[in-house]
Amino acid sequence: MSKLLHISASPRGSDSESLRIAEVFVDAYRQAHPDDEIEHWDLWDGSLPNFAVGAKAKMTVFAGGEPRGAEGEAWAAARRTFERFDSADRLLFSVPMWNASIPYVLKQLIDVVSQPGWIFGFDAVTGYTHLLAGRGKKVAVVYTSAVWAPGLGPEFGGNFQSPYFTDWLQWTGLTDIAEIRFHPTVTGDRAAERALADTRARDIAKEF
């Protein structure tokens, strides 16, 4: 039995394109895998810890020390966040483009959970190791934008959304990644693009 964890980064509720496509995915997943556990983690629900003190704790750990006091508490909060993130073997992310990149709550999750010994190892000679690799985890990502679209020129903005997020996933060791995209731009046929995204979401969810 698997657990699907849907991590969502849009705060726009019923107006959200990425949440809507993710719901199509989750419904198809539920039908195909009726015994699996499904959890939704809305990154806007206030559950992400502040990482100001955590950043100090991180450097303490990186230098081989043990965080104590306020640093210890921040480190424990980060650990609880990591454990929730690591509790599933099937991960669905819904990710709007914000200012050519990802919403800051998703970056906050990345900054909180990406810790030495949890997500990565490091050796001064050989560099990084990727601690989530080889654990049979699968990832699906819903990417949406409203102006940028593949094939448009730089006057319609850049794309640091999927390149950045894919780089992070791969750095953690999560390399089995499927993408579902909705990039209709301003002049596109939104209904047709939605139908394409929904079909792809259902197809991936059934085999996920």
Contact, 43 vs 106, CB < 8 A?
yes
Shortest Å, Cβ 99 to ligand FMN: 5
Nearer to ligand FMN, 157 or 173 (CB): 157
Residue whose C-beta lies closest to ligand FMN: 96
Characterise 9 by phi-psi region: left (phi > 0), alpha (psi -120 to 50), beta (else).
alpha
Q: Which one, 5 or 57, has the nearer CB to ligand FMN? A: 5
Compute the least distance from the CB of residue 113 to ligand FMN, in Å. Answer: 22
Q: Answer yes or no: are the C-beta atoms of 161 and 102 closer than 8 Å.
A: yes
Of the pair 99, 129, the CB lying nearest ligand FMN is at 99
Residue 50 DSSP class:
P
- 16 lines the binding site for ligand FMN (CB under 6 A): yes
Judged by CB under 6 A, the chain residues 89 through 108 that form the site for ligand FMN are 96-100
CA 25 to chain centre: 15
Side-chain-side CA neighbours of 195 within 13 Å: the count stands at 4
Residue 36 near residue 121 (C-beta atoms within 8 A): no
CA 20 to chain centroid = 16
- Site for ligand FMN contains 12 (CB under 6 A): yes
Map the footprint of ligand FMN across residues 119-158, applying CB under 6 A.
144-148, 157
- d(CA 92, CA 204) in angstroms, rounded, equals 11
Kindly tell me which of 169 and 197 has the beta carbon lying closer to ligand FMN: 197
In three-state secondary structure terms, 106 is helix
Among 5, 10, 54, 106, binds ligand FMN (CB under 6 A): 10
Which residues between 17 and 56 bind ligand FMN (CB under 6 A)? 17-19
Which residues here bind ligand FMN, judged by CB under 6 A? 10, 12, 16-19, 96-100, 144-148, 157
